[in-house]
Amino acid sequence: MDLSIITAVRNGARTLRECIESVQKQTVPAEHIIIDGASTDGTFDIIARYRQSIAKVISEPDKGIYDALNKGIRIASGGVIGLLHGDDFYAHDRVLETVVDVFEKQNVDSCYGDLLYVNKNDTDKVIRYWKASEYHSGKFKYGWMPPHPTFFVKREIYEKYGYFNTDFRIAADYELMLRFLEKHGISTYYIPEVLIKMRLGGASNKSLKNIWIKSSEDYRAWKVNNLKGGLLTIFLKNSSKIPQFFVR
């Protein structure tokens, strides 16, 4: 099972090196695709330094992270697609080996695992532990969702059910997983271990304004997919994050 890993980055010179080396260190090779949003901080110099190990590079202005990810998905050749943002890195060097093993043995359309939010300056310092759980139909209605950076999906699923909806500024990842898992019922498998470490400071949680925008988009995600999920669902989704600060 061939893998494509897509990294969307813009002005990520401070962290991109660790991201690229994280892919390089994996025991299973992957097609690494980097979509750079015309960075101005030296990001492309780092890409050039590692260019021989990067399969495909696009560097041009884009309409945001979801537009960039869609570009990467469209040019990916692997049978399974994973996402690794420019400030994230794999928890250990056998993550992709584990993912390939799941797809080969479980015969599923997708898989996901746990995620650690770490301090952006000290990545050994854990801030939140997003411990996921096994999925069953209807679970999204109770506020559940898998950690999107750990979500690996067969390329044919994107081709069949669509890419990221760029009408969503912050919550296109939630809308996509809701569409794939709840609306279309693709199969998935939970890997009960940390797959990715993410530096704290994502766009959706930067301010109260962004939290409000994200919650509004989460609500709209149900409407555009003709699914029944109301304000209680969004409340449960937001409140489910609180225990993540206490799990170790």
pLDDT at 241: 79
Domain range summary for the chain, segments of one domain joined by +: 3-245
- pLDDT tens string 1-37: 799 999 999 999 999 999 999 999 999 999 999 999 9
d(CA 113, CA 96) in angstroms, rounded, equals: 12
Q: How far apart are the two ends of the chain, measured CA to CA in Å?
A: 33
What confidence category does residue 90 fall into, taking pLDDT thresholds of 50, 70 and 90?
very high
Q: Which amino acid, 32?
A: H
Nearest to 129 by CA among 238, 246, 237: 246
Angle, vertex CA 223, rays to CA 204 and CA 138, nearest 5: 85
pTM for this structure? Answer: 0.94
CB atoms within 10 A of CB 155: 17
- pLDDT tens string 122-172: 999 999 999 999 999 999 999 999 999 999 999 999 999 999 999 999 999
Q: Which CATH number fits domain 3-245: 3.40.50.880, 3.40.228.10, 3.90.550.10, 3.40.1050.10?
A: 3.90.550.10
Cα dihedral 208, 224, 113, 92 sign: negative
Q: With a cut of 60, say whether residue 248 has pLDDT above it.
A: no
Q: For residue 4, what are the CA distances in angstroms to 7, 57, 80, 224, 246? A: 10, 13, 6, 29, 34
- pLDDT tens string 200-243: 875 545 556 778 889 999 999 999 999 988 888 888 888 887 77
